[in-house]
Amino acid sequence: MADILEIVERIEELATSGKKVPLSNKALVDPDQLMKLVDQLRMSIPEDFSRAKEVLRKREDLLSQGLDEARRIRASAETELRSRLDETTIAKEAQKYAEGLVAEAQGKAKRVLEAAEAEAKKRREAADQYSQEVLYQLEQDVASVLTTIRHGIEVLDARQGANALRSA
């Protein structure tokens, strides 16, 4: 499936390669070709949104991995703490060590989450920006093509009206 910019280029090519209307800078285009390109464009847009969804899914995976790692480290620290609590002289040291591990795990989990959220936000913003730019360009291109089509229809209507008057 062609990407959006390629389809837009083909729409532009169709608009510029159409038969020129005498005494104007307008051109006639084949509506079937135009509709075919518009349909391709409609099919390509969901593909770009799928890419954006994939970025968001990867963000969720990173968050999940960070949380899993934090839970594993915390569980490990708690297990270590319980096993050492049995020994009275080592109990305080073990507790301190476990708390350090928990704090380290929480810090690491927080950093992983923050990094994942920042990356996901950055990618989401980039995907939104890209989608917005493509849609603005598409809007401009479609508006230009529609103006050309309307003008072509008006010219043909005027020509048919003039021919009908001559025939009558």
pLDDT band at 89 (very low <50, low <70, confident <90, very high): low
Is the pTM higher than 0.85? The answer reads no
pLDDT band at 20 (very low <50, low <70, confident <90, very high): confident
| Predicted pLDDT of residue 135 | 93
Q: How far is Cα 59 from Cα 137, in angstroms, rounded to an integer?
A: 29
| Predicted pLDDT of residue 149 | 94
Q: Indicate whether 91 pLDDT > 70.
A: no
